[in-house]
Structure 1
């Protein structure tokens, strides 16, 4: 897997991806990350990459020439090109898993009022939004995708099971977790987690995952069988 980010601020990508789990994965060549400074592909002597929109309106748009040049330089036959846009499809854990199977992802970090539509029509495979809000640039959304997708690539996490039983992986939020000490300020870890009974611990975690999802994100539960399962477990663990 290789990520390429087209950006006006490569230093923002650099500082995040040199640290933590993602930084170690890149150092170990578990996946590759490169970034392209869009200004290097400008045909203007002043390296200008933006201009006023035709028809008027506030703000500036990224011009087509630098982006065409950059994309032509880095895209491959197996490239999947994503433009980070508030108009895009909502980014989800399901989408992250889908993208983790791609061989080469190019992320376009927009700025100002966006990019010339001809770039989208010619090159972009998918527009992706991080939520129903607008940000000043696309670098943070690009990093969010790199992080969420990168951690699903085999070998990135210390244990591949770490990405299985977590929030949104199975349309449920994650169950509550505890660590040592067993009691702190008279608040104790649930007895069942100390029991050593692995089957019951698994059931309890399933019950708590459904419970927290029903409380905070009931929209995620679309199967009535999960409600039936919850009511059965509730008689045991409530």
Structure 2
């Protein structure tokens, strides 16, 4: 079954964008997944196809209308039971476990917001899942949508060259990934750690695990604290 991504956006030409290249691009050509970008503008109201209006209670900016987005979501989603996702700074942080869950279904619908945001009522009606990429603000949901889709597509069967490629990546066990080395073994006075040249698989696995711990403690103390609390 082809994994289907439907994106509702004011800028459909942004898709597939970078996802048309490399692993995701080959998978797209081979019908492992499909990418359908739907222009929100035709769903707008009135002669000017208005998508937004002023916020109740006052304040700067405009809010995307619930009636417009409800029509678009109902039309695009149809009878599919796939997740509907809204990238937003007010959402919970997107994690690898979420990516894995999305990739195991038959696809996703992503609503890319603009302006000040989306009327809360349409999010409630469609049980929209809200996620953020980090503690920063972007102009819209398109770039987060691309990142989310890239994370999902690479996990689809047959996309990565090896079935083991995703097993030792960052976040797969709650730790960041260990450092990597390749040829030449000596470069500008810097040597590859000797254990990686030893051929002793148990020693290599132990070294990599220790390095994952060290990197996580140094770079992401929040992840390390969560890892220490695991049962």
- Same fold, TM-score > 0.5, yes or no: yes
Q: Does 1:60 align with 2:25?
A: no
Name the CA distance, whole Å, in 1 between partners of 2:228 and 2:130: 32
Displacement of 1:41: 1.8
Displacement of 1:44: 2.3
**2:40 matched residue in structure 1:** 38
Q: Structure 1 224/141 Cα, relative in aligned 2: closer, same or farther at 3 Å?
A: closer
**2:101 matched residue in structure 1:** 98
Q: Structure 2 regions of 5+ residues with no counterpart?
A: none
Deviations 1:75-101 (A, max 9, x none): 123221111111111101121112222
Name the CA distance, whole Å, in 2 between partners of 1:97 and 1:49: 33
Name the CA distance, whole Å, in 1 between partners of 2:227 and 2:118: 40
Name the CA distance, whole Å, in 2 between partners of 1:2 and 1:116: 26
Q: Which of 144, 155, 172 in structure 1 is aligned with 2:147? A: 144
SS in 2 for 1:162: coil
SS in 1 for 2:109: strand
**1:234 matched residue in structure 2:** none
Q: Does 1:155 align with 2:158?
A: yes
Q: Structure 1 165/81 Cα, relative in aligned 2: closer, same or farther at 3 Å?
A: same
Displacement of 1:147: 1.0
SS in 2 for 1:96: helix
Q: Structure 1 225/50 Cα, relative in aligned 2: closer, same or farther at 3 Å?
A: closer
SS in 1 for 2:38: strand
> For the Cα contact (< 8 Å) 2:16–2:35, is it kept in 1?
no
Q: Does 1:185 align with 2:188?
A: yes
User: Of Structure 1 and Structure 2, which has the larger fraction of its residues in helix?
Assistant: 1
Further displaced range: 193-202 or 215-224: 215-224
Further displaced range: 138-147 or 125-134: 125-134
**1:110 matched residue in structure 2:** 113
Displacement of 1:69: 1.7
TM-score normalised according to structure 1 size: 0.88
TM-score normalised according to structure 2 size: 0.91
**2:6 matched residue in structure 1:** 4
Displacement of 1:3: 1.1
> For the Cα contact (< 8 Å) 1:42–1:65, is it kept in 2?
no
Name the CA distance, whole Å, in 1 between partners of 2:185 and 2:66: 60
Q: Which of 20, 24, 35 in structure 2 is aligned with 1:18? A: 20
**2:72 matched residue in structure 1:** 70
**1:89 matched residue in structure 2:** 92
SS in 2 for 1:158: coil
Deviations 1:106-133 (A, max 9, x none): 1101001001122112113311111122
**1:233 matched residue in structure 2:** none
Displacement of 1:212: 1.1
**2:210 matched residue in structure 1:** 207
> For the Cα contact (< 8 Å) 2:84–2:128, is it kept in 1?
yes
